[in-house]
Copies of this chain bind each other. A is one copy, B any other.
Amino acid sequence: MLFFVGLGLGDAKDITVKGLEVVKKCKRVYLEAYTSILTVGKDALEEFYGREIILADRDMVETNSDEILSGAEEEDVAFLVVGDPFGATTHTDLVLRAKEKGLDYRVVHNASIMNACGCCGLQLYNFGETVSIVFWTDTWKPDSYYDKIKCNRDRNMHTLCLLDIKMKEQTIENLMKGRKIFEPPRFMTVKQASEQLLEIVENKRQEGDNSLAFTEDTVCVGLSRVGSDAQRIVSATLQEMTQIDLGEPLHSLIIPGEMHSLERDMLLQFAISDKTKNILSSICI
């Protein structure tokens, strides 16, 4: 049997009791280690579970999954995923490969940023399509997520922006020379995401766009390390967000749409400045 076990979002203790039982009884335990992170590393998980963990990078999961699935007809194998196994990153490809081999699988669900972001007070019902904001380079500045945010805002919906993670980057030189030397991991901050969003808005303005999806003064929500003791939630204008350091990863950003009074009142609790408070208070509800 192949078990997909969600680890939740904080530390080792965010696994469910059911999930912990699975981890303890499985023959092999893999940790998907390339799309998200907890606030603790592999060592802390191994200590808490009392089990050895095998790190599974993208290569292993996407092109070498036979290793993970091997023997799972007779033995139990666990595949651990930060958040929920079918949350922000979905592992349906591994499910399908397991089914192809005639393997059974079970899922132990857990919190994902896709639902835990509701802790800011914005109702999950009122979220539209989720977008991913990727790191720009000097030559590649995709902005297709802007249109999705606009589409959500036009429908009065909130937008959860998942921020880019680069886990095993190679420099172009190392890539060309086939050297498996990797750069340190990078995690996009709310500050960086806000800067990119404002740059897109500025470009639209210069193109004469009169119906911008949002502006510097749009109140947004920045979240970091949701679900951990070190969690932070702030509401601030997009301009203010470019000045805020929300600390260690992971960060997420929400661009709210129309708010109900309870949603507005919750964002007031997290307001970073008088300016933000004034904007929120002046919203007609």
A26 within 8 A of B: no
Known: A17-B16, A110-B111. A128 touches B125 (CB 8 A): no
Partner of A86, one of B14, B90, B93, B118: B118
With a CB–CB cut-off of 8 A, which chain B residues contact A132? 125
Chain B residues with CB below 8 A from A266, complex form:
92, 95-96
Interface string of A247-275 (1 = CB under 8 A from B): 00000000000000011011001000000
Cβ-defined contact, B92 with A262, below 8 A: yes
A115 to B84 Cα, complex, angstroms: 8
Minimum Cβ distance to chain B for residue A45 (Å): 12
Does A9 touch B at the CB level, under 8 Å? yes
In the complex, A167 has a CB within 8 A of chain B: no
Shortest Cβ distance from residue A224 to the other chain B in the assembled complex, whole angstroms? 15
Chain B minimum-CB-distance residue to A86 = B118
Whether B116 and A129, one on each chain, are in contact in the complex, defined by CB atoms closer than 8 angstroms, is no
Name A71-96 residues within 8 Å CB distance of B: 84-88, 90, 92-93, 95-96
Q: Residue-by-residue, is A124-150 near B (CB-CB < 8 Å gives 1, otherwise 0)? A: 111111101000000000000000000
User: What are the residues of chain B within 8 A of A16 when measuring CB–CB?
Assistant: 8, 13-17, 110
Number of A residues, CB within 8 Å of B: 55
A88 / chain B contacts, CB cutoff of 8 Å? 124-125
Q: B99–A109 contact, CB under 8 A?
A: no
**Contact in complex: B116, A109 (CB < 8 Å):** yes
Residue A188 at the chain B interface, CB threshold 8 Å: no
List the B side residues contacting A226 at CB < 8 Å.
109
Contact A114 B124, CB 8 Å, known A16-B8, A16-B16, A96-B262? yes
For residue A95, which residues in chain B have a CB less than 8 angstroms away from its CB?
121, 266, 269
Q: Are B6 and A13 in contact (CB under 8 A)?
A: no
- Known A-B contacts A16-B15, A18-B14, A92-B266; the reply to A124 vs B155 at CB < 8 A is no
A232 to chain B, nearest CB (A): 13
Whether A222 is near chain B, meaning CB under 8 Å from some CB there, is no
A20 at the interface (CB under 8 A from B): yes
Contact in complex: B130, A129 (CB < 8 Å) = no
Q: Judge whether B92 and A121 touch: CB under 8 Å.
A: yes
User: Is A119 interfacial (CB 8 A cutoff)?
Assistant: yes
Q: Does A123 sit at the interface, judged by CB under 8 A?
A: yes
**A-B contact list, 16 entries, CB within 8 Å:** A13-B16, A14-B18, A16-B16, A84-B111, A86-B121, A90-B118, A92-B121, A92-B123, A92-B266, A95-B266, A96-B265, A109-B116, A111-B112, A114-B118, A128-B129, A128-B157
Q: Which 4 A-B pairs have the closest CB atoms?
A: A86-B118, A109-B111, A13-B18, A115-B115
